[in-house]
Amino acid sequence: MSANYEVRGNVAVITLDNPPVNGLGYETRKGITDGLARAEADAAVLAIVITGAGKAFSGGADIREFGSPKALAEPDLLSVIAQLEATAKPVVAAIHSVCMGGGLELALGCHYRVASPGTQVALPEVKIGLIPGAGGTQRLPRVLGVENALNMIVSGEPVKSELLAAAPGQKLFDKLIDGDLLAGAVRFAQEKADARPLPLVRNLKVEHPNADAYFQFARNTVGAMAKNFPAPLKCVDAVAASTKMKFDDGMKFERELFTALMFTPESKALRHAFMAERATTKIPDVPADTPVRAIKKVAMIGAGTMGGGIAMNFLNAGLPVVILEMKQEALDKGVGIIRKNYDAQVKKGKLKQDKLDQRMALLSTTLKYDDLKDADLVIEAVFEDIGVKEQVFKTLDEVMKPGAILASNTSTLDVNKIAAFTKRPQDVIGMHFFSPANVMKLLEVIRGEKTAKDVLATVMALGKTIKKTCVVSGVCDGFIGNRMIEQYSRQAGFLLEEGCTPQQVDKAIEKFGFAMGPFRMGDLAGNDVGWYIRKRRYQEKPNMRYSKTADLLCEMGRFGQKTGAGWYDYVPGKRDAIPSKVVTDMIEKHRADLGVTPRKISDDEIVHRLVYSLVNEGAKIVDEGIALRASDIDMVYLTGYGFPLHRGGPMCYADTVGLFNVVATMKRFAKNPLDDAEFWKPAPLLAKLAAEGKSFS
Ligand code: NAI
């Protein structure tokens, strides 16, 4: 039973006990209703307190139950709340630490609520594409007023109990209790033992002097902000209903909205991302209790684009960082950029000046390897050249203390080869950050053949400290993200050859929800980066077909924003991408050279060719064990490549479309003589799942 029962004097205390946050799983719900029945039956009990053990009152639904029949088993949360309201003895919720989602709805079903200051209170359902489904949208406006309630429901953000308790006219909390909450709650319950009739939130009135105008305003604002997500507007509808409908009708309406949202692809995508994020930390052969090495000081090799950004992550987390470069000028430049980034944050009011000073004080620079020897972790971010990396790692092997972790930020090179430059390959790992490294959430953690388990566990834990989403990848060319993007870029090239303009491709995929299309992205990152990689890659794979348009572009010196011209034209000092006649002419000439008659290509075809190229390569990556699970690939794309969140990532999107349909479309693409039939051959895992009617998840 995940709820405990005891009697203190004449007060029954029901304590939710389902670590870590007292999620309202079946056993906990049953524990509450059994406790209520027992208290009702005991004549010596005059009042009841409900509280939570450990670190929370309750964090809401038990996510471990998601999708299982247990989640719906009676008593469901609505029945628990109905039983609370029907209890003839006063029930007091004693709220502390965390009171969220179903936990708050449960508390709102009690006759009274007392709370500790500092409690985080929230209805976060909107974050997984839902609205509160157990009365939250009907009861919260009754105790906090329409506007405060709607703000909380539509944002999903937690608010501290003392702030809520200070809201004028609030009825959420009957009392804030400093010190021993349970003792205070029991005393409060004793005071209310004879109070009759018992107050119920459902009987309170909800009023707003200007309801129609207010809700119109709310709909406009929320609609503009929520673009691809239906749930926020439904929050407005549900709260509006609380002002117009009788309580029970409002509850029915809330349930209808909740159930409909449950089946939307957007909510499925958000719930998938929520679970996928948690899954990334699970590595089957590296259990959660694997010991980790202490990381108290970090060294960086290279103060370029990546080195500076990576260093900021550790400074932000309060870890000292020493950066090594070949020349003083490079150090000065790198440190200057770090300072400029922090200054910009101060100007925007996002960082206090004293924090900036603290962070900069943690940073030191050097030209001598000797100064790195007390670091526990060193991250190399020098030029992407195996010869340069070899020299760096051989030196690191000589100078770093035993047990130090040696990491490379390489985006394409073989981490096993890099490890073999040292006599301690077990201490070598890839830490692949994304640019700008101080902003992007993704960190691909590259596990080499010989990487020790505790090194992997340490880097995963450290990734969490610096607030990254860490995804483990095996060693292969491009790892998870860039290996997939290669196929995506190849398709983008074929689309140009067959008749698209760069702007048409970008627009189509941006309409699908990508933050940026492949050509605008290329201009931002620098087209020369891909050019350099292609020279190596296609030398190794001479039979791999790809469009030469990107090479022709680079031969014209159009590397992107940094050279003032790329797939688009740019006006100096501005980032707006202007369609380019020079580029269109180049593409047309290339088509003519190939003897291709251009055709009109639909947005739908563009999107599916780009996205399914990711899906097919993703399936190979899972099959080969490079990624631990399909959902890890989704996290890579959601957090590192601007894949639209409301689609849940490429693999989740493919599941939503249905793998059978994905494969059927790929077979159609394979028949296009200008495309590459080999390209569209379904990966074995994809073909198998599609044939069996299964999905990646
Ligand atoms: P960058 O050219 O901006 O910076 C490299 C820095 O390393 C330069 O400041 C250079 O002076 C320094 N350097 C070169 N050889 C050195 C040596 N032997 N000792 C000390 N310092 C040395 O390059 P960027 O873009 O920062 O890339 C660095 C690494 O990060 C590469 O391996 C790259 O593939 C990888 N990477 C780059 C990403 C990007 O978007 N730029 C994204 C993810 C990884």
| CB of residue 382 inside a 6 A radius of ligand 1 | yes
Residue 268 has pLDDT above 70, yes or no: yes
Task: Say if residue 463 is exposed, middle or buried (CB neighbours under 10 Å; 0-12, 13-18, 19+).
Answer: buried
Distances, alpha carbon 298 to alpha carbons 307, 324, 331, 434, 488, in Å? 12, 11, 16, 18, 35
Residue 431, strand partner residues: 445
Q: Examine residue 20 and say whether the peptide bond preceding it is cis (omega within 30 degrees of 0).
A: yes
- The H or E element containing residue 217 is helix 211-225
For domain 2-262, say whether CATH 3.40.50.1110 is its number: no
Residue 541 has pLDDT above 90, yes or no: no
**CA 562 to centroid of ligand 1, rounded, Å:** 17
| CB of residue 307 inside a 6 A radius of ligand 1 | yes
- What would the mean pLDDT of 21-28 be, rounded to a whole number? 96
Domain ranges of the chain: 2-262, 298-473, 481-691
Instruction: Note if 486 is an active site residue.
Output: no
pLDDT digits (tens, 9 = 90+) for 46-105: 999 999 999 999 999 998 887 788 888 999 999 999 999 999 999 999 999 999 999 999
Instruction: Give the span between the Cα atoms of 625 and 366, in whole angstroms.
Output: 40
- What would the mean pLDDT of 182-211 be, rounded to a whole number? 96
Instruction: Note if 27 is an active site residue.
Output: no
**Given this model, what pLDDT does residue 534 score?**
86
Residue type, 120: Q
Residue 407 has pLDDT above 70, yes or no: yes
Strands 175-176 and 120-122: unpaired
The secondary structure of 151-203 as a DSSP string is HHHHH---EEHHHHHTSTT--S-SEE--S-HHHHHHHHHHHTTT--SPP-GGG
Q: How high is the mean pLDDT of the chain?
A: 96
**Residue from 85, 125, 486, 605 carrying the catalytic annotation:** 125
- What would the mean pLDDT of 677-697 be, rounded to a whole number? 96
What percentage of the chain exceeds 90 in pLDDT?
A: 92
Please name which of 672, 684, 638, 634 lies closest in space to residue 654, comparing C-alpha atoms.
634
Tally of residues, the chain: 697
pLDDT digits (tens, 9 = 90+) for 576-585: 999 999 999 9
Distances, alpha carbon 211 to alpha carbons 138, 153, 216, 222, 433, in Å? 15, 17, 8, 16, 49
Q: Domain 298-473 belongs to what topology?
A: Rossmann fold (3.40.50)
R_g over Cα of the chain = 29
**Given this model, what pLDDT does residue 635 score?**
98
Residue 301 has pLDDT above 70, yes or no: yes
The secondary structure of 322-340 as a DSSP string is EEE-SSHHHHHHHHHHHHH
| CB of residue 410 inside a 6 A radius of ligand 1 | yes
- Place 468 in a pLDDT band, splitting at 50, 70 and 90: very high
| CB of residue 304 inside a 6 A radius of ligand 1 | yes
- What would the mean pLDDT of 464-471 be, rounded to a whole number? 97
Instruction: Give the span between the Cα atoms of 130 and 257, in whole angstroms.
Output: 9
**Given this model, what pLDDT does residue 1 score?**
65
16 Cβ partners below 8 Å, 6+ apart?
2, 3, 22, 24, 28, 31, 32, 50, 51, 52, 53, 57, 58
Residue with CA closest to ligand 1 atom 9: 304
From 300, 328, 379, 383, give the residue whose CB has the most ligand 1 atoms within 8 Å, as the site to mutate: 383
Instruction: Give the span between the Cα atoms of 250 and 252, in whole angstroms.
Output: 5
- What would the mean pLDDT of 677-688 be, rounded to a whole number? 95
| CB of residue 145 inside a 6 A radius of ligand 1 | no
Residue 520 has pLDDT above 80, yes or no: yes
- What CATH code would you report for 481-691? 1.10.1040.50
pLDDT digits (tens, 9 = 90+) for 355-386: 999 999 999 999 999 999 999 999 999 998 99
**Residue from 27, 40, 65, 105 carrying the catalytic annotation:** 105
Instruction: Give the span between the Cα atoms of 53 and 14, in whole angstroms.
Output: 10
Residue with CA closest to ligand 1 atom 40: 435
